[in-house]
Structure 1
Amino acid sequence: MILTAIADKLKRQSKDDFKGRQFEAHLIIQAVSWYLRYPLSYRDLEEMFLERGFEVDHSTINRWVLAYAPLIEKRLRRFQKPHCGSVRIDETYVKIRGKWRYLYRAIDKHGNSIDFLLTAKRDLDAAKRFFRKMLRSTPLLSPGKIGTDGAGTFPPAIQGSVDEGLLASDPLHYVTKHLQQGIESDHFRLKKNMPKVGGFRSFNSARKTIAGFEAMLWLKKGFDFAGQWSVRDQNDLLAVLFGIEKVNEA
């Protein structure tokens, strides 16, 4: 009953999502989900759709990803659960127009994704913005343990969050390479599908696409739903998010 109610609400909300699009909604979400889930280029998808009898230019698929990847992230976020009281925070590098930019990410000790933030700089202001985003926009119980690498920006960022009332007054901050290996491995799972040559073309396209990559990683990990969590189940949830009948079915 609850899932049916959610589906009905999302179906009403998404009635204009595909207004003016030439292709059916399930084909659009199929293309977007494939790009975000597998190491495929836009030209790869263009050929795959041509094999099925659909002529879709790779630039059109790019526009679909930029339009719908952030929507997938926004709608999946509502399924996130409160996390445990121990988090790991780290930043990794992303190439945009040939220059390295920074992606702040957090997971809990069980490997569940918490939040992310793409920034142009790796400094105290960026670290503070990430903590604000993480602590305000996710159903996260104020963590009592925070693991980071040795970057000097994290201690003042943590203290700033305490001063703003976003963290309890005495969180345990620890720096340990061993415990950070989990989030470093998680970076790889996220970045393996990103453009390999030259990186993203713009900061805005990187921000939107990475939101989709993160959301697809959330989807793969699951949301503590009972029972088996197969790719078909994941696709069923994507269909619910956009009020459509099917996704990734021949």
Structure 2
Amino acid sequence: MTPDRATYPGYRFPAEIISHAVWLYHVFSLSLRDVELILAERGITVTRESIRNWCRKFGCEFAAKLRRRRPKPGDTWHLDEVFLRINGQLHYLWRAVDQHGVALDILVQDRRNGRAAKRFFKRLLAGLKYKPRRLVTDGLKSYGVAQREILPEVRHRSSRYLNNRAENSHRPTRRRERQMQRFKSAGQAQRFLWAHSMIYGHFRLRRHLMTAGEYRRARTKAIRTWRQETCTQAAT
């Protein structure tokens, strides 16, 4: 570890402690109080408000770095939307994953019409700079509107029975929504869920497809990448 990477400017706690708190909060279904207690057990006295500020400040930053290190996504993309109730109003979380279940992007919107679908498609393509070979969605007609205008050359399959990959990807969101007693604003939901999908997904390896040795090597690589991107370990 090099001295210039040991701390973040303006923060008195070492980078290792801050990044560890962000890691605990996003990878496990822990509350801010839970993270505070875990750090206290290790002799680190910090308030949950400080942890909240760390997660808000560094969560998206760390997630963006992990996203840039991610390999090229698969050529089949599954898209789905799920409702979120925020301050009594319905919003919709749009999510895209590839055929391996790797999260590509998310977007919280208050509509699920054709215009909202096109906005999500444009965000998805701008962030990834790749185009899929096939799109799989549920029966929502808004996807067809966006696909015909933005990705007319891409094959589109619309079936509720083929889209389990995207539907299952919402489970971590539902767990965190319950644990956080729902989101307080659309902006908060977008910031948290985008960072959460990237950080959580980085450590959720497809263990059922690996041998024990392959899984341990992949896990070690994921941890090493995290430490490098959060500046707690010099890149080699």
Give the shorter-chain TM-score range: 0.7 to 0.9
2:193 matches 1:196 = no
Paired residues of 1:148 and 1:154 also in contact (CA < 8 A): yes
Residue 207 of structure 1: how far off its partner (Å)? 1.7
2:200 matches 1:211 = no
- Show the counterpart of 2:59: 69
Paired residues of 2:31 and 2:180 also in contact (CA < 8 A): no
SS of aligned partner of 2:45? coil
Residue 229 of structure 1: how far off its partner (Å)? 1.5
**Alpha-carbon separation, structure 1, partners of 2:37 and 2:68:** 34
Query: For each residue in 1:216-247, what CA deviation from the matched residue of structure 2 results, as whole angstroms up to 9, or x when unmatched?
Result: 23312469xx95222x543321110122139x
Paired residues of 2:79 and 2:96 also in contact (CA < 8 A): yes
Q: Which stretches of structure 1, 4 residues or longer, exceed 6 Å deviation after superposition?
A: none
RMSD: 2.7
2:161 matches 1:178 = yes
Q: Of 133, 136, 139, which residue of structure 1 is paired with 2:126?
A: 136
Residue 193 of structure 1: how far off its partner (Å)? 3.0
Q: Of 116, 122, 133, which residue of structure 2 is paired with 1:126?
A: 116
Read off the aligned partner of 1:236 and give its amino acid letter: R
SS of aligned partner of 1:173? strand
Residue 85 of structure 1: how far off its partner (Å)? 2.5
Unaligned runs of 5+ in 2: 207-212
**Alpha-carbon separation, structure 1, partners of 2:136 and 2:170:** 15
Query: For each residue in 1:8-41, what CA deviation from the matched residue of structure 2 results, as whole angstroms up to 9, or x when unmatched?
Result: 9xx98xx698211121111011011100011110
Q: Of 204, 225, 229, which residue of structure 2 is paired with 1:237?
A: 225
Pick closer, same or farther for the CA change 1:28–1:89 going to 2, 3 Å: same
Pick closer, same or farther for the CA change 1:73–1:17 going to 2, 3 Å: farther
Paired residues of 1:95 and 1:198 also in contact (CA < 8 A): no
Unaligned runs of 5+ in 1: 1-6, 162-166
Pick closer, same or farther for the CA change 1:39–1:218 going to 2, 3 Å: closer
Pick closer, same or farther for the CA change 1:41–1:81 going to 2, 3 Å: same
SS of aligned partner of 2:44? coil
- Show the counterpart of 1:22: 12
- Show the counterpart of 2:209: none
Read off the aligned partner of 1:217 and give its amino acid letter: Y
Read off the aligned partner of 2:53 and give its amino acid letter: R
2:129 matches 1:146 = no
Question: Which one is further off, 32-41 or 77-86?
Answer: 77-86
Length, aligned pairs only: 226
**Alpha-carbon separation, structure 2, partners of 1:103 and 1:83:** 21
